[in-house]
Amino acid sequence: MASDAHVHAHEESLALREQFDTAAQQKDASTLGMWIFLITEVMFFGGLFLAYTVYRHLYAEVFAVASSSMNVYYGAANTVVLLCSSLTMVLAVRAAQLGQKKAIVLFLILTLILGGVFLGVKAFEWKEKFDEHHIPGPTFHLDGVSSSEQGHAQLFFSLYFAMTGLHALHMVIGAGLLLYLILEARKGIFTAEYNTPVDLIGLYWHFVDIIWIFLFPLLYLIDRHLKR
Amino acid sequence: MSNDVHQHVDSVTTYVLVFVGLICLTVATTAVAFVDLGPFSVVVALVIACCKMLLVALFFMHVRHSTKLTRLVVLGGLLWLGILLLLTLGDVMSRGWVGVPGR
């Protein structure tokens, strides 16, 4: 495998550009840069998580009723789908580290399909919310909440759509990145020496997974036992 | 050349075991949501979510093999998130504790 890099000068230049001393230094710099981007994303989502926590504290009863109207089984199934996609993603990264060119493409395609399944289930859930009048706006109505508290219930659903919507947007962007990786991987440019894009997009995909790991219990599970 | 890039390649078994752990934790957190634990339901849900986050970050995101600088950046980011959450919640939740004249 090492000899491959010497044969193809193009690959070697991708793995070691002239501003870096070693390929390891270049890889560390790329990884660090990606993590710094992910930290800004953590703070970005952090603000929404904070807003959710503050309002859940202020309107605990209403938020419990609203949260209990979520379908836990869709949420749990989607969590499993996303975890499966993280497994296939990490296997794609592993295949790239080992220079297994066909396996990279296969695992990336599987990841893309699972990401699509997640978004499909999400779209179905949102459609249900439309049908049940749980979309914040003039026609909003949530059963089990008094008319004076409907506004607070709308707040829950506003946060729900903002958080799951932003998460879904990240999934769509992730799907675009995966598509790019699949096209590149089919050309066979990722090798044991150079696989940074697979690695970094893998980090992004797992980050989006972690956001959902927190969204699922906060939006679907907590306070379910308080249901009036 | 290739030896310059210091990569740790974990076994497929490691990844599958981590994945099985994640699925078990998902089932556990869903099941426990239907049990009335009072105020502890939030604590249990968040502890399980943090465990899942750690598994994903350490194994899938390779933090356990990453450089010290990357680890420092990750911890630093979580520290800032902690400041955002703790200081704001400390304010919001303690507002009723002290009587303010005129309110």
Q: How confident is the model at residue B97 (pLDDT cuts 50, 70, 90)?
A: confident
Span of A217-221, B7-11, B21-25 with lowest mean pLDDT: B7-11
Residues contacting B78, CB < 8 A, separation 6+: A42
Residues of B with Cβ-Cβ distance to A221 under 8 angstroms: 29-30, 33, 41, 45
Cα separation, A137 vs A188, whole angstroms? 50
Chain A residues lying within 8 Å of B36, measured CB to CB: 225
Inter-chain residue contact B33 with A57, CB threshold 8 Å: no
Structure token pair of residue B33 = 């949501």
CA separation (Å) from A168 to A13, A96, A171, A209? 36, 27, 5, 11
Structure tokens at A115: 């990401």
Which chain A residues are Cβ-neighbours of B35 within 8 angstroms?
A: 225
> What one-letter code names the amino acid at A170?
H
Contact A43 B23 (CB under 8 A): no
Question: Is A224's pLDDT higher than 80?
Answer: no
A74 burial level (CB within 10 Å; 0-12, 13-18, 19+): middle
Q: How far apart are CA A22 and CA A24, in angstroms?
A: 5
- Contact at CB, A57 and B70, closer than 8 angstroms: no
Is the backbone of residue B62 left (phi > 0), alpha (psi -120 to 50) or beta? left
pLDDT tens, position by position, B16-44: 999 999 999 999 999 998 888 888 888 99
Look at residue B2 in the predicted model and tell me its pLDDT: 43
Residues of A in contact with B74 (CB under 8 A): 35, 39
Q: How far apart are the first and last CA of chain B?
A: 70
Tell the CATH topology of A38-226.
Four Helix Bundle (Hemerythrin (Met), subunit A) (1.20.120)
Q: Tell me what the mean pLDDT of segment A212-219 comes to.
A: 96
Whether the pLDDT of residue B54 is over 90: the answer is: yes
Is the Cβ–Cβ distance between A6 and A14 less than 8 Å? no
Q: Nearest CA to CA, how far is B23 from chain A (Å)?
A: 7
With tokens 């499966």, the residue in question is A84
Find, in chain A, the residue whose alpha carbon is nearest to that of B17. Answer: A87
The arithmetic mean of pLDDT across residues A20-33, rounded, is 92
What's the confidence (pLDDT) of residue B103? 61
How high is the mean pLDDT of chain B?
89
Domain extent listing, chain B:
1-61, 67-95
Q: Which of B15, B59, B73 sits opposite A39 (nearest CB)?
A: B73
Higher pLDDT, A222 or A118: A118
Contact A224, A65 (CB under 8 A): no
Lowest-pLDDT range of A33-37, A172-176, B7-11, B30-34: B7-11
* Band (A43; pLDDT cuts 50, 70, 90): very high
What proportion of chain A, given as a percentage, has pLDDT over 90?
81
Is the confidence at residue A188, as pLDDT, over 70? Answer: yes
Tell me what pLDDT residue A226 has: 65
Å from A177 to nearest chain B CA?
17
Q: When comparing pLDDT for A11 and A42, which is higher? A: A42
Half-sphere exposure of A224 (CA within 13 A, CB side): 20
> CA dist A88 to A8, A173, A206, A208, B10, Å?
29, 18, 11, 14, 14
The reported pLDDT for the residue numbered A38 is 97
Q: Which residues of B touch A207 (CB under 8 A)?
A: 61
Nearest to A23 among B1, B56, B61 (CB): B1
* Cβ neighbours of A51 (radius 10 Å): 16
Pairwise CB contact (< 8 Å): B15 & A94: yes
Compare all CA atoms of chain A with the CA of B54 and give the residue at the minimum distance.
A210
Q: Select the residue of A22, A32, A49 nearest B73 (Cβ to Cβ).
A: A32
The answer to whether the CB atoms of B26 and A89 lie below 8 A apart is no
